[in-house]
Structure 1
């Protein structure tokens, strides 16, 4: 018998798969951008404390 399979009908179509892949790529890119932004903020925060130009409002100590 050629009855449609319940399993086959539950699978996403090619168009849906493309949409899922694009959304996953967007989510990965957003996540990576957020991580890089947090890393940059962390590095800037740490180096601002160490950099002597930032001490005393940028004026040379003396």
Structure 2
């Protein structure tokens, strides 16, 4: 008996799957290190995927 496959995860259209990025601040601290900020995508909450839309009966395309 075959198993049902789940649909492929949809990639977030806002971040194209790159959910977390590191951004440099542009300046160096007193030790010479370049500080970075880790920022997560707001649309997918840092997951890189969005849930598939469910088609409602009678809904227009």
Please tell me the TM-score bracket, short chain as reference: under 0.3
Which structure has greater helix proportion?
Answer: 1
Larger Rg belongs to: 1
**Relative contact order (C-alpha < 8 Å, sep 6+): which is higher?**
2
Q: TM-score, normalised by structure 1?
A: 0.27
Which structure has greater strand proportion?
Answer: 2
